[in-house]
């Protein structure tokens, strides 16, 4: 099994490097059509991998992977809103946003891998942790449902405060660089605002992992399936951001749908000892809730409400 972990991580890193250093080696604005093509490619690769899992570990494991992938992808939609807020707050030039997300995803791969292994280990040794994760998901769902979305204030981010204490930060961007030597005639090492943005994205993703990883653990405790479904979802997240960043505000009921998904998955986790919900039913419910929330957003857009 160790070989499969190594091979998969080599594949994921190789695709990221190929994406950034070969296909997008020059800083430029990424167009929606190109991003849609990349998003479709990542989704296609995920389902090809599901086919590999089917022939390797069987139908149940493949179904768990697809369910985990769809669940993680749907919960990652909130990340897209936060990326938009963070980039606008720091006025990050569009041609440098892809580079920031590249390094952000590298950090997310490491953090989520450790988080998943820790979560699976805890549940296997301390069964009651399952109920804690379930309660956390229900709480998160209620919070998202009432607040409308996750809130973030980049200026109050602890990583930003720590970074400013450790290193001086320049007032302006220096291309796609995270560090510069010397600034305004003063010697020394300086961080650029781009490094501050990266710190905010990394810590924000860690907070989201607290919601999303327990949700996938409600589907399966197979650490490899949980990890690979997470990785495929966040690999496609970067391209999805550029594809739908201009359309995200149109789906006004999507947060409600995501909140309901979190609550339902939390209930599934808490009641797992008494009621065994088949994986295909979980997949169908997630897809159904998201479809209804998107359709409702299209039928009843926010603009009509404001005009009334």
Q: What is the H or E stretch that residue 22 is in?
A: none
- What integer pLDDT is reported at residue 307 of this predicted model? 44
Which pLDDT tens digit goes with each residue over 31-73?
A: 666 677 777 888 899 999 999 999 988 889 999 999 989 888 8
- Own/partner contacts of 98-102, CB < 8 Å, gap of 24 or more, are 98/20, 98/24, 98/27, 98/30, 98/238, 98/242, 99/20, 99/27, 99/176, 99/194, 100/194, 100/197, 100/198, 100/201, 101/201, 101/237, 101/238, 101/241, 102/16, 102/19, 102/20, 102/238
Q: Residue 4 pLDDT > 90, yes or no?
A: no
Lowest mean pLDDT among 83-87, 167-171, 261-265: 83-87
Rg of the chain's alpha carbons, rounded to an integer?
A: 20
Mean pLDDT along residues 227-247: 74
Q: Tell me how far apart the terminal alpha carbons of the chain are, to the nearest angstrom.
A: 59
- What integer pLDDT is reported at residue 121 of this predicted model? 76
- What integer pLDDT is reported at residue 55 of this predicted model? 92
- What integer pLDDT is reported at residue 48 of this predicted model? 93
- Indicate the average pLDDT of the chain: 76
- What integer pLDDT is reported at residue 244 of this predicted model? 62
Which pLDDT tens digit goes with each residue over 170-220?
A: 877 877 788 888 777 778 888 888 888 888 888 777 766 776 778 788 788
CA dist., res. 98 & res. 241, Å (int): 10
- Residue 37, CB-side half-sphere exposure with 13 Å CA sphere: 6
pTM: 0.71
Confidence band for 308, pLDDT divided at 50, 70 and 90:
very low
Q: How many angstroms separate the Cα of 223 from the Cα of each of 1, 16, 111, 142, 265?
A: 11, 22, 14, 27, 18
- What integer pLDDT is reported at residue 30 of this predicted model? 57
Confidence band for 142, pLDDT divided at 50, 70 and 90:
confident
Confidence band for 306, pLDDT divided at 50, 70 and 90:
very low
């Amino acid at each position: 099994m160790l070989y499969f972990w190594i091979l998969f991580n080599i594949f994921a890193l190789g695709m990221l490097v190929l994406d950034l250093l070969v296909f997008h080696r020059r800083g430029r604005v990424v167009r929606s059509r190109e991003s849609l093509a990349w998003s479709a490619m990542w989704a296609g690769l995920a389902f090809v991998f599901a086919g590999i899992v089917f022939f390797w570990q069987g139908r149940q494991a493949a179904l768990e992977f697809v369910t985990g992938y769809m669940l993680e992808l749907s919960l990652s939609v909130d990340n897209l809103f936060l990326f938009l807020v963070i980039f606008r707050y720091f006025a990050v030039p569009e041609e440098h946003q892809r580079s920031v997300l590249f390094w952000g995803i590298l950090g997310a791969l490491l953090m989520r891998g450790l988080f998943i292994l820790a979560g699976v280990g805890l549940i296997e040794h301390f069964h009651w942790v399952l109920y804690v994760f379930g309660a956390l998901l229900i709480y998160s769902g209620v919070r998202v449902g009432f607040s409308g979305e996750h809130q973030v204030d980049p200026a109050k981010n602890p990583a930003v405060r720590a970074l400013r204490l450790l290193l001086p930060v320049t007032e302006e961007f220096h291309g796609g660089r995270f560090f510069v030597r010397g600034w305004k005639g003063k010697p020394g090492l300086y961080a650029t605002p781009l490094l501050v943005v990266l710190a905010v994205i990394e810590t924000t993703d860690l907070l989201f992992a607290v919601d999303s990883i327990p949700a996938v653990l409600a589907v399966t405790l197979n650490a490899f399936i949980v990890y690979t479904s997470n990785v495929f979802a966040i690999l496609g997240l970067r391209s999805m951001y550029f594809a739908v960043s201009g359309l995200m505000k149109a789906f006004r009921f999507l947060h409600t749908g995501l909140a309901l998904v979190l609550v339902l998955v939390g209930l599934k986790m808490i009641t797992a000892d008494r009621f065994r919900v088949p994986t295909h039913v979980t997949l169908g419910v997630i897809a159904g809730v998201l479809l209804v929330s998107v359709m409702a957003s299209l039928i009843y857009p926010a603009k009509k409400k404001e005009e009334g």
